[in-house]
């Protein structure tokens, strides 16, 4: 059985909820990633911040990214998957919630992220096409 841990990109990093968006953007640049899970003071997942969130939700609205925190951008219920979950569960979670990145949690710790690129490396063409159709479909 292929698990979430088998297909994830290991070594994902949290961004504390109190960290500002300019610092988040710098970390994204340094890590060459487009999204960071947001952690609260107890290191629990409280959201995911994307580069698009920073641009569209802050900069485009004329706000100063040095004055807005990652936690202020966290909206909705964060989605995640257990490291031992079957790849079918991964696909279902991502499809059901139309998400393109999924944090992987093991023993209450972030151990990795699953992105489109990870899926492309580990799925058949038919599986990937089915996933894309459901994730990119308009509600």
Q: Which residue has the tokens 């489109």?
A: 116
Q: Does domain 4-137 have CATH number 3.40.50.300?
A: no
Q: Can you give the pTM of this predicted structure?
A: 0.84
In whole angstroms, what is the distance from residue 139 CA to residue 132 CA?
Answer: 14
Instruction: Convert the pLDDT of each residue in 65-119 to its tens digit.
Output: 999 999 999 877 889 999 999 999 999 999 999 888 999 999 888 899 999 889 9
Contacts of 23 (CB under 8 A, 6+ apart): 15
* Per-residue pLDDT at 52 exceeds 90: yes
Domain boundaries, the chain: 4-137
* Per-residue pLDDT at 139 exceeds 60: no
- Residue with the larger pLDDT of the pair 106 and 136: 106
């Amino acid at each position: 059985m292929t698990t979430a841990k088998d297909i994830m990109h290991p070594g994902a990093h949290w961004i504390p909820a109190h960290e500002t968006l300019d610092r988040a953007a710098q970390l994204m640049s340094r890590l060459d990633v487009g999204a960071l899970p947001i952690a609260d003071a107890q290191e629990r997942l409280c959201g995911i911040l994307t580069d698009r969130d920073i641009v569209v939700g802050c900069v485009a609205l004329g706000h100063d990214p040095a004055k807005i925190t990652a936690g202020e951008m966290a909206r909705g219920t964060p989605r995640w998957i257990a490291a031992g979950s079957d790849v079918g569960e991964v696909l279902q979670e991502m499809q059901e919630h139309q998400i393109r990145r999924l944090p992987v949690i093991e023993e209450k710790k972030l151990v990795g992220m699953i992105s489109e690129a990870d899926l492309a490396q580990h799925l058949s063409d038919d599986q990937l096409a089915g996933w894309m159709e459901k994730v990119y479909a308009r509600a």
